[in-house]
Structure 1
Amino acid sequence: MTRFSADWSRRNFLRGALATGALVLPGSGALVGCATSGGGQEATEGEKSADNPLAVPTDAPIEIYIFNGGFGDKYATDVHEPMYKEKYPNAKITHKAEVDIAGALQSRFVGGNPPDFVNDSGDGQIPLGQLVSDKQLYDLTDLYEAPSWDDPDTKVRDTLVPGAVEQGTFGDKPYVMNMALTVYGIWYDKALFDEKGWTPPATWAEMLDLCTDIKAAGIAPWTYPGVHGRYMVWSLLSMAAKLAGPEVLVAVDNLEEGAWEHEAVKESANALASLRTKGFILPGTEGMDHIQAQGQWSAGKAAFVPCGSWLESEQADVTPEGFEFAVMADPLLSEDSAMPRETIYAVPGEPYVVPAAAKNPRGGLEYMRIMLSKEGAKGFTEQVSSLTVVKDSAEGIELPPGLTSAKGVLEAAGDNVISWMWNNWYGDMWNPGINAQMGDLMTGRRSVDEWAAGCEAEAKKVRDDDSVTKYTR
């Protein structure tokens, strides 16, 4: 899922290219030694009609790769693939579920023989920005301009929530379809809070006061995935944007010099770092991955954990009876902040792509159109317990407590929804870059000033690297 960015870096990509006899020429975006379609739009198509607006070759096989992570793959096998098969009964569907997408598909992308549809997610995600700059992804413009599955008079793009298309856009073209609408925040057990009479804090001062009470009750106030420090970046940037305004995030996205040393960013970093110095973090957190930290949290060992709204689904098999998932917006650092407390970081995520060199790219687009139908979106939500980018697709569905809470904080935020793009655009800057810097901050290996300078250095690496395609917003 999109919470992870890859350790599968440009250097690994190049090593794989050399191993297969294909080489990415620095700065060229071209692959030597394999045939790509340069966007794929000239690939063989079927006959376009009102019933087949994307000109899908109706009897062409389609090969689908799904990331087998927190969402599993039943939403594909039980919902979307049957819908595709019903419309195209002569099309053979080949389905694969993989934990390591890069490991499974690196050589195929470089060799010019990728599948037709890929859920490019997980720890082994192939960096999306790199795939775009190397011209490995198919332009999705035709998908978004096509009539929607449910209403021929409404384009697919007009059935989606604001920002859904933009989140997968690089430069002036969309290359990534993000299906899940992820709400990020600080999670807690509402049943426990009700029992103890604790109120979710609105300000950071209230957070610290509550943490004191929680610790006195014999519970660690906080835990987080220590080996994935980036989980804390979500709260850090959210609180910084609330304090100084969303322009802070734009500066970070645009790789502006000094963006990570902005006073609001440093104040947010200082607040989170204080959780350690005040003894509010569960012992052992530093060495925990997301499963371990979340497991300690749902077992009642810690009161708060930062995460996205996939959390409830990911913890479904280990959550004790009576536990009630709930999420709160990150607290305000100051009562005179630029944005209201209800401001939430929510972003379309869980990326899906059609490779440029796919044998059946139009089938890949059609598969996406099916996913973005009302039936496809509803089935996705029912299978994986996640909101989707399709407007009103959760209406009429009985949502579990955590997703109900996430939907509530999203509605409370109204137009005050923030997001950023740099982590999608620059995979190595996100992980290991800022991920490692955040880990050092939270464990005290770096001071706030040292952390900010380290983040600036990570941004500078990208800014000064002529082989990396730059994007702005």
Structure 2
Amino acid sequence: MPHTPHLSRRELLRGAALVPVAGALAACATPAAPPAASSSAAPVATSAANPFGVANNKPLEIWIFDGGFGQDYAKNIHEPLFKSKYAGVEIKHNATKEITKVLQPRFAGGNPPEVIDNSGANFMDFGALAQDNQMQDLTPLLDAPSWDDPNVKVRDMLDQSVIDIGMYDGKFTVLGYVNYIHGIWYSQKVFRDNDWQIPKTWDEFLALCETIKKSGKMAPFTYAGKFPQYLYEPLLTMGAKIGGNEVLVNIDNLEDGAWTTDAMKTAAAAWAEVGAKYLMQGTTGLDHVQTQTAQNKYKVAMLPSGSWLENEQKTTTPADFEYGMFPIPDVTGSDKMPYGTLHTQPGENFIVSARSAHPQAGMEYLRAMLSKKAAGDFSALVRTLTVVKGATEGRDISPGVTSATKAITDAGTNTVFYRWQNWYGQLKDEGIAATGELMSGGLTADQYLERMQKKADEIKNDSSIKKYKR
């Protein structure tokens, strides 16, 4: 594979916090209210064609997370589209795998870039950015005319969840561009050739794991052992499926005992059994690219991931592999949410810095990204869906995207999400460490959940950490 195992792009992956959540940026940055859109540049007349007042003679600095989607989509799709309208704006394109390491000093120093794809394993803490008033209020973007049709507002091109999940302190400040659809991924060819059926119940899933294990052809299951957040995703989704969406809402809201409910105990015990019996040998020492590549080499049948997977593995996937995805099976026979329930939420999070030199151009760049052409071209290039409604209409899409699209269509309104891992960096770090121990047998299900509850309680009782509510 030409790219080395990298820190892949997704909202799920944040990794270890490099700084405390509270006051992460305030220590160096000058406290100030977020500026109005016109305060960082000379006033430019606004119009339907230029709704934010972009100055055609001021540069625009863009930083892209160079992970699973690469950076070509920005260089070859989004930036040329923006330049077609603002030829005088010099675009300063940059890319990195280490967003926090490279850009946090820029924020602290008061000279941040305009547009940041704040993604990857080490993205900047959104809670800290919000607490320090570093993110531009993007509400004017929602109310602006869409790039495609002046009679349609940008907000009408987006699902409401994009707006809900992008809210911090009552303001829309984070634009999730990709519609991440999570599930269990497999090769449709392998399942067809072996007459393995998609499991609809957990008993069927365990029976399938046993069948695959006894076949000797490959291991039943793996996950990114070095990044256990890949595994707490299906665990949390299962908890919500068993106990209802309120399971995740209560965890997000730091409610007493939210982690130690019966639904979460059942989910944690179920996945601990998979860890004890059905993991590919060596899983705990492998990262996501290594485990995904093992699947491409037919060494393992199933793994948890999201709809970025197909593009991320495009250089190692056999031509006839045919990615597919299925949802968490029914668990108890009386789950509160039906079969087909999915964890799906906007990811690949873009922000505009409120203290940058040209935030108007930053918002206009996002408006261009949200055009049907930009979103459709993006989907065709990187084999995943954006949050822009109808952007893939009339386009050929790959097997994995087709499978994920069908799954989300079948799910209808039965979708769930969680936000604690973005709101509270310390809780995310605890979740990563504890889930790894659960899957390797170092913690029982009860010990795992008690550890998570203890950390959640510590954060709840720490007055220096800003709290968020769903």
Specify the TM-score bucket, using the shorter chain as the normaliser. Answer: over 0.9
After superposition, residues 298-447 of structure 1 pair within 5 angstroms as 298-430=296-428, 432-447=429-444
The CA deviation at 1:13 is 9.2
Q: Which runs of 5+ in 1 are unaligned?
A: 18-22, 25-30
Tell me the residue number matched to 2:16. 7
Asked whether the equivalents of residues 47 and 57 of structure 1 are also in contact (C-alpha less than 8 Å), the reply is: no
CA distance in 2, matches of 1:156, 1:363: 16
The CA deviation at 1:379 is 1.6
After superposition, residues 21-60 of structure 1 pair within 5 angstroms as 24=27, 34=30, 38-41=34-37, 42-44=39-41, 45-60=43-58
Tell me the residue number matched to 2:4. none
CA distance in 1, matches of 2:17, 2:270: 32
After superposition, residues 259-278 of structure 1 pair within 5 angstroms as 259-277=258-276
The CA deviation at 1:467 is 1.6
Normalising by structure 1, we get a TM-score of 0.94
The CA deviation at 1:39 is 4.3
Post-superposition Cα deviations, 1:316-342, rounded to whole Å, max 9, x if no partner, equal 001123211000001111222111111
CA distance in 1, matches of 2:313, 2:386: 19
Residues 12, 338 of structure 1: CA spacing in aligned structure 2 closer, same or farther, 3 A cutoff? Answer: closer
Asked whether the equivalents of residues 39 and 139 of structure 1 are also in contact (C-alpha less than 8 Å), the reply is: no
Tell me the residue number matched to 1:206. 204
Tell me the residue number matched to 1:150. 148
* 1:291 aligns to 2:289 (yes or no): yes
Post-superposition Cα deviations, 1:33-64, rounded to whole Å, max 9, x if no partner, equal x4756244333342101211122122211011
CA distance in 1, matches of 2:49, 2:406: 37
CA distance in 2, matches of 1:37, 1:455: 34
1:250 maps to a residue whose letter is: V
Asked whether the equivalents of residues 21 and 125 of structure 2 are also in contact (C-alpha less than 8 Å), the reply is: no
Post-superposition Cα deviations, 1:156-204, rounded to whole Å, max 9, x if no partner, equal 1111123011111113111101100010000011100001111110111
CA distance in 1, matches of 2:15, 2:285: 19
The CA deviation at 1:276 is 2.6
Tell me the residue number matched to 2:168. 170
Asked whether the equivalents of residues 327 and 405 of structure 1 are also in contact (C-alpha less than 8 Å), the reply is: yes
Q: Secondary structure at the match of 1:466?
A: coil
Asked whether the equivalents of residues 21 and 465 of structure 2 are also in contact (C-alpha less than 8 Å), the reply is: no
The equivalent position to 2:103 in structure 1, one of 84, 91, 105, is: 105
The equivalent position to 1:449 in structure 2, one of 442, 446, 449, is: 446
The CA deviation at 1:296 is 1.1
Asked whether the equivalents of residues 5 and 123 of structure 1 are also in contact (C-alpha less than 8 Å), the reply is: yes
The CA deviation at 1:420 is 1.3
CA distance in 2, matches of 1:78, 1:35: 37
2:251 maps to a residue whose letter is: V
The CA deviation at 1:6 is 4.0
Post-superposition Cα deviations, 1:276-309, rounded to whole Å, max 9, x if no partner, equal 33x2110100111111111111211111100011
Tell me the residue number matched to 2:157. 159
Asked whether the equivalents of residues 39 and 137 of structure 1 are also in contact (C-alpha less than 8 Å), the reply is: no
Asked whether the equivalents of residues 221 and 302 of structure 1 are also in contact (C-alpha less than 8 Å), the reply is: yes
Residues 171, 294 of structure 1: CA spacing in aligned structure 2 closer, same or farther, 3 A cutoff? Answer: same
CA distance in 2, matches of 1:12, 1:276: 31
Q: Which runs of 5+ in 2 are unaligned?
A: 1-8
Structure 1 moving runs of 4+ over 4 Å: 12-15
Tell me the residue number matched to 2:257. 258
Normalising by structure 2, we get a TM-score of 0.95
Deviates more, 1:374-383 or 1:179-188: 374-383
Matched residues, percent identical? 39
Post-superposition Cα deviations, 1:115-150, rounded to whole Å, max 9, x if no partner, equal 011111112211111111111111111111111111
Tell me the residue number matched to 2:463. 466
Deviates more, 1:348-357 or 1:458-467: 458-467
Residues 6, 14 of structure 1: CA spacing in aligned structure 2 closer, same or farther, 3 A cutoff? Answer: farther
2:355 maps to a residue whose letter is: A
CA distance in 1, matches of 2:433, 2:398: 34
Asked whether the equivalents of residues 46 and 57 of structure 1 are also in contact (C-alpha less than 8 Å), the reply is: yes
Count of residues paired in the alignment: 458
CA distance in 2, matches of 1:379, 1:401: 17
The CA deviation at 1:462 is 1.6
Q: Secondary structure at the match of 2:13?
A: coil
Tell me the residue number matched to 2:229. 230
2:303 maps to a residue whose letter is: V
Post-superposition Cα deviations, 1:219-265, rounded to whole Å, max 9, x if no partner, equal 21100011111111111111111111111111011010100001001
CA distance in 2, matches of 1:293, 1:464: 38
Q: Secondary structure at the match of 1:183?
A: strand
The CA deviation at 1:14 is 6.8
CA distance in 1, matches of 2:61, 2:450: 45
Q: Secondary structure at the match of 1:338?
A: coil
Tell me the residue number matched to 1:247. 246
Tell me the residue number matched to 2:5. none
Q: RMSD of the TM alignment (CA)?
A: 1.5
CA distance in 2, matches of 1:35, 1:173: 18
The CA deviation at 1:466 is 1.2
CA distance in 2, matches of 1:414, 1:369: 27
Asked whether the equivalents of residues 342 and 409 of structure 1 are also in contact (C-alpha less than 8 Å), the reply is: yes
CA distance in 1, matches of 2:106, 2:17: 15
